[in-house]
Amino acid sequence: MQRKWFQYWFNSPYYHILYSQRNDAEAEFLIDNLSAYLKPAAHSKILDIACGRGRHSIYLNKKGYDVTGIDLSEQSIKFAQQFEQKHLHFYVHDMRKLCYINYFDIAMNLFTSFGYFDTEKDHVNALKSFRKSIKDDGTVVIDYFNTEKILKNLTHKETKVVDGIEFHLNKFVSEGKIIKHINFEHRDKSFAFEERVQAFSRADFERMLEKSGLRIEAMFGSYGLEPFDEIKSDRLILICKKV
């Protein structure tokens, strides 16, 4: 089976170099606000879907929760596993495939870690596995970018220098996807990667969640959990329950 763009790029050391300035304070701010809003009981079981190197998982665990992080990237999980302990575990796993049934109090998919697949069926299958992984009274949290705002303010060309590497980023929209081409040279070799994320709107999520047996209970537009505004909001954060 042919490997997809995300299997190459998320396993590359250059992915972590390009995004090394990602803000832990911002991640912790979101977790603090979600915890205050959802009020999970002590030792609640939380699934962090597409956990990357585990920054959200590690912080959730510090707050006293029993956390499982899953991600398709072997390299990210290998890195995260150094932080494992009694109530914090990491596994290489595809979000479209079920790993637990009726087990978690909360399943979280944060920081636009969705929208990577080619078909709506794959995305709905992922959402179905999110639903099946939570208890009957459990909660699914999805944090996506606000596509409307992204499309209006798309920076088509950008250059970023990180660790002495000059990354040339080229963004455009094609066939309902926001595509980013990443080109750079390192140690006399040329590299080219891409990111392809579906430009899902709120209506798209409503339709897919309905198909997967989830309903939206609340909707926010920022990590401060302010109300969602299609024009102004940076994020689309959905709090969902089983139908």
- At 50-98, the pLDDT tens digits run 999 999 999 999 999 999 999 999 999 999 999 999 999 999 999 999 9
Per-residue pLDDT tens digits for 166-196: 999 999 999 999 999 999 999 999 999 999 9
Looking at residue 201, what DSSP letter applies? -
CA–CA distance, 195 with 18 (Å, rounded to integer): 13
Q: Which two tokens stand for residue 241?
A: 């329950």
Residue entry with tokens 């590690």: 58
The answer to whether the CB of 48 falls within 8 A of the CB of 68 is: yes
pTM of the complete model: 0.95
| pLDDT for the residue 39 | 98
